[in-house]
Structure 1
Amino acid sequence: MKPLASPAGDALVAPLDVLRQYRAHDATLTGFLAARVAAHPDKPALVFEGETWSYRQLDQRIGLTADWLAQAMQVGPGDRVGVLSTNHPSTVVLMFALARIGATMVPANPEYRLDEALYVFRHAQVCGLVCAPGTLATGAAVAADLGGDVWLRANEDGDHGVPTLAASIAAHAAQPANAAPGVDSDRSTALIIYTSGTTGFPKGAMHSHRGYVLTAEAFVGRLHLQPDERVMCVMPLFHINALMYSVGGALACGGCLVLMRRFSASSFWRFAAESGATEVNLVAAAGSILARRPRAEFVPGHRITKMFIAPQTQEMVRVMKQEFHVPRLIECYGMTEIPGVIANPFNGPHKLGTMGLISPHPDPAVPVPEARIVDDDGHDVAPGAAGELLIRTPTLMQGYYRDAVQTEAAFRDGWFATGDLVRQDSDGYYVFVARKKDVIRRKGENVSGAELDRIFGEHPAVEEAAAIGVPADLGEEEILLAVQFRPGQSVEPGELLAWARDRLAVHKLPRYVVAVDAIPHTPTHKPAKHKLKADGTLFARAIDMAAASH
């Protein structure tokens, strides 16, 4: 293995050499994991709340679970099983166990209300549900609505009266053994991840075994994950980042997954130090929260040397590097449908505020992802101009489950249309401009709602801001800014706009400002602007800054 030089002078194993520690496999989740088990069966694979599972123990648990699913519960190839839980090892085990028998896991947000959970699991046509104790009431209601053939299990003990996964598997293991049927196709669907549904009902993005494995292996390259890596997973296991980057990346490099039940800002650094974590993935909201938390919560003895987080701000980077001593922050871009495509290169240069460059798989034999930037007619734009990003990649989803219309609408001649407006700078780095549906057309100019969210969100008194377009008197739109202030703080709208005048062109300044108790979010913690637009009281409560200036 040839070492690479890190900025700190440490020797790093090259990503391709990390992957070549393991025997060749068939690009199924089963073959992928088996290669790691064969190489180091007794090495720690997963840590959760004081319990450590070796690769051998993890594989054994997966095998027992696959047998139980196939024999006792009659789950077969093509069937789907839902998960409604905070982070728990059972989700990891279930994903690999279902994959082993050719079935599919459908994880969903444990904070879903009944109608939200019912829509996802009904649409996915699940045959069973695995729930945390706190979501069992919702799971039971879903199972009852879907019919008596949908089974329900709890993933932890409690006074809930529902059979647990562990007890059911143990009881089945005591019976005469029958090997679960294997899956021999890397094209089988391993996961269905439902998108956040910012414009309507969620859509289920289907991902194959091969797509999962390639994404996991590519993450070794994006973060230069090492064989002794301890990947701290705080993002939810219904999210592509946690499932493919954290879980997949940790196993791809032969490292250890350190699983946290949920993100907790107050205990983040203590958990990091106690667990010996070396890498963590975060969303921007979590990074901003950590940067604003009391410094007394910081634990200097942590070993985290790299974070995968986007988008980043100058203040976030300053705090993470100078105060929290995390030397590398990798900014990136991704979607549920196209994981692992664009990121700032690990060894730089790192360009703050950019999505980065095309991020290839470490193995040159794997096709490199491709990107185009096109106008509304599908023609490539001029260099430096903004347009919609189209992607073609081997990790592309298989399509939206049971939604041929949306699947067809998402593709243009084999390219996935992201719905994101981007441009390339002079160095070829991709720069996010706006969601096509988050562009506010004001006085003949396009205004990025995401840009306004970011700028106003940086005000010291603001917890979060979200800009939306509202009808203008003379056509097009005006800008309405919804503002959630930090606890115990507030700012007059005039003062807020005065603060922003040095940061924004005049045509980008909102006409209407309204304070809200909380900005609604999608399951992936993006502002749920469709909910803001549907709130009929918002405009009525807003202050018209044009009228206030007269």
Structure 2
Amino acid sequence: MNPSDNLIEAQELSPLEVLRQYRAHDFTLSAFLAARVAQHPDKPALLFEGETWSYGELAARIARTAAWLSHDMHIRAGDRVGVLSANHPSTVVLMFALAQLGATLVPANPDYRLDEALYVFEHAQICGLICSPNTLDTAAAVVSQLGGDVWLRANEAGGHGQALTGESEADTELRAEAASTAMIIYTSGTTGFPKGAMHGQRGYVLTAEAFVGRMHLQPNERVMCVMPLFHINALMYSVGGALACGGCLVLVRRFSASSFWRLAAESGATEVNLVAAAGSILARRPREEFVPGHRISKMFIAPQTSEMVSAMRHEFHVARLIECYGMTEIPGVIANPFHGPHKLGTMGLISRHPDPDISPPQARIIGEDGKDVAAGDSGELLIRTPTLMQGYYRDTAQTDAAFRDGWFATGDLVRQDDDGYYVFVARKKDVIRRKGENVSGAELDRVFGEHPAVEEAAAIGVPAELGEEEILLAVQLRAGWEVGATELVDWARDRLAAHKLPRFVVKVDQIPHTPTHKPAKHRLKADACLLARATDVAG
């Protein structure tokens, strides 16, 4: 440990001390934010493209927007309003304004095509839609097809003017309850149509406050948000975490690897959350893009690779990289402890709320017989947590199917090591059955992704001549690099058991992704030409 770290830690407030700076609240978003505003109304709350809002200014904008929604747009408790936009302060304002009314935010990926956006917003039964100027055409088409009284506004100057500039000063009745649904986040839809995970206001606040504990966020924190605001990580960890500690949210429209370090240095950001793909991209970017004067000292990122960790710590001088585990349905459950030990390649330990009176998450690992597995064995991870979703919107069957006797079934196969750390094995639906053995597609993605010529890899199962499956590996090579299929498989022989080595290798221009930047393996499997183009390494 760097000697300066000891000084930093000695001056550090504990997570519980950070939260207890603020008055008690009722676990609604309005009361949660009001406690921060009362404590420091003039402190910076949000920074976006050179403009800074104080806590008092943020609260005032939320109040005006809530009045506009209530009096002009006739939003009532239980109504749902969609968002189709890159990151913008209006989404943060809208979330809190809707929550004040007991209404619900439904954010979607701004890169959605018409059919994708239409499915989400039609299923969510929205009564209004906020878009950015560059998504206006798609948003207008969605509203046209939805028909009825669904309204459309833009969040910046554009074809429909500015949406969130309501100037009504009329008092707005506070209709929020802790049990009110704050947001519906649609899952990536890797195995079918997306499902809308509903999260209540209490769950949001608990997750935000728990993130203060996971990352030991301090009152002077500047949390840089580059992940999209249709993602649970950005909405609950970045936005919620920044406000929970009384820090400042540094909001960025979109992740840009080339400008990341410059923006970090200019904004004074101290913490950032990233997906693994973004971390790997940064680790491989030209070093002249790095800005030594940045203040980022901690990152929340998973899964991690040794290459990523080495670059971040030794070249980019980020002291702590916290590896974790989460799902849209169960935010804030498992993470590596902030002060360690940090175990690369693990999900970590149960991550609880700083307040000891808040029940901690619970976990079980069960086998196919439904019973707890023996120590060290792998099985499906089940979770109970105060931050659990309320269910899938308008989908009782999928909600019921997601639970086992009151425990949420993650669909992930995991095991615990000798120290109790949870280790990810595979998605149940990402297991390839080959010659009587189960092979984790995620493991192959990770191993082949570490080859110096490989930008990204994705392994899928394809039908075998004699039943079960063979392994096909799709690889996206780094610009300017080349490697043969046989050479690539030979490289992995010392890293993988023989039955895990792919039989087929195919080079692709780009690995397709889900909206949360996971390999969209269902799209690879649906590509009938993929196997025909692949090299048969065994042949």
> What TM-score comes out, normalization by structure 1 length?
0.96
Amino acid at match of 1:438: D
Aligned-residue sequence identity (percent) comes to 77
What is the Cα deviation at residue 295 of structure 1?
0.5
Structure 2 match to 1:155? 155
Structure 2 match to 1:363? 355
Native 8 Å contact 2:101 2:176 kept in 1: no
2: CA distance, partners of 1:321 / 1:484: 26
Give the secondary structure class of the aligned counterpart of 1:152.
Answer: strand
Structure 2 residue corresponding to 1:313, chosen from 291, 294, 305 = 305
What is the Cα deviation at residue 6 of structure 1?
4.4
Structure 2 residue corresponding to 1:273, chosen from 256, 265, 273 = 265
Structure 2 match to 1:102? 102
Structure 1 match to 2:117? 117
Amino acid at match of 1:364: P
What is the Cα deviation at residue 486 of structure 1?
1.4
Give the secondary structure class of the aligned counterpart of 1:391.
Answer: strand
Where do residues 197-216 of structure 1 align in structure 2 (5 Å cutoff)? 197-216=189-208
What is the Cα deviation at residue 184 of structure 1?
4.0
What is the Cα deviation at residue 377 of structure 1?
1.8
1: CA distance, partners of 2:393 / 2:290: 43
Where do residues 463-542 of structure 1 align in structure 2 (5 Å cutoff)? 463-542=455-534
Structure 1 match to 2:282? 290
1: CA distance, partners of 2:178 / 2:419: 37
1: CA distance, partners of 2:512 / 2:252: 25
Give me the CA root mean square deviation.
1.0
2: CA distance, partners of 1:216 / 1:166: 25
What is the Cα deviation at residue 10 of structure 1?
4.5
Native 8 Å contact 1:265 1:290 kept in 2: yes
Where do residues 58-457 of structure 1 align in structure 2 (5 Å cutoff)? 58-158=58-158, 161-167=159-165, 169-170=166-167, 173=168, 177-457=169-449
Number of residues of Structure 1 aligned to a counterpart in Structure 2: 535
Note the alpha carbon deviations across 1:268-321, whole angstroms, 9 max, x for none. Answer: 001000100000000000000000000000000001110000001111111100
Note the alpha carbon deviations across 1:468-489, whole angstroms, 9 max, x for none. Answer: 0011111111000111111232
Note the alpha carbon deviations across 1:344-366, whole angstroms, 9 max, x for none. Answer: 00111111110000000000000
Q: Which runs of 4+ in 1 moved over 4 A?
A: 5-10
Native 8 Å contact 1:19 1:253 kept in 2: yes
2: CA distance, partners of 1:56 / 1:287: 34
1:239 and 1:7, CA in 2 relative to 1: closer, same or farther beyond 3 A? farther
2: CA distance, partners of 1:360 / 1:446: 33
Give the secondary structure class of the aligned counterpart of 1:238.
Answer: coil
What is the Cα deviation at residue 461 of structure 1?
1.1
Amino acid at match of 2:47: V
Amino acid at match of 2:21: Q
What is the Cα deviation at residue 7 of structure 1?
7.4
Native 8 Å contact 1:466 1:483 kept in 2: yes
Structure 1: any 5+ residue segments left out of the alignment?
none
2: CA distance, partners of 1:423 / 1:508: 19
1: CA distance, partners of 2:368 / 2:69: 48
1: CA distance, partners of 2:326 / 2:185: 14
Amino acid at match of 2:32: F
Q: Relative to structure 2, which stretch is displaced further, 459-468 or 91-100? A: 459-468
2: CA distance, partners of 1:151 / 1:376: 48
Note the alpha carbon deviations across 1:448-493, whole angstroms, 9 max, x for none. Answer: 0001011111111111110000111111110001111112322110
Structure 2: any 5+ residue segments left out of the alignment?
none
What is the Cα deviation at residue 9 of structure 1?
5.0
Amino acid at match of 2:11: A
Note the alpha carbon deviations across 1:486-538, whole angstroms, 9 max, x for none. Answer: 12322110111111111111111101111111111000000000011111111
Amino acid at match of 1:86: A
Give the secondary structure class of the aligned counterpart of 2:82.
Answer: strand
What is the Cα deviation at residue 543 of structure 1?
1.4
Q: Relative to structure 2, which stretch is displaced further, 211-220 or 456-465? A: 456-465
1:293 and 1:414, CA in 2 relative to 1: closer, same or farther beyond 3 A? same
Give the secondary structure class of the aligned counterpart of 2:529.
Answer: helix
Give the secondary structure class of the aligned counterpart of 1:225.
Answer: coil
Native 8 Å contact 2:99 2:176 kept in 1: no
Note the alpha carbon deviations across 1:321-370, whole angstroms, 9 max, x for none. Answer: 00000000000000000000000001111111100000000000000100
Give the secondary structure class of the aligned counterpart of 2:16.
Answer: helix
Native 8 Å contact 1:279 1:307 kept in 2: yes
Native 8 Å contact 1:6 1:12 kept in 2: no
Note the alpha carbon deviations across 1:199-237, whole angstroms, 9 max, x for none. Answer: 000000000000000000000000000000000000000
1: CA distance, partners of 2:271 / 2:8: 16
2: CA distance, partners of 1:271 / 1:518: 27
Amino acid at match of 1:77: A
2: CA distance, partners of 1:46 / 1:449: 40
1: CA distance, partners of 2:6 / 2:416: 27
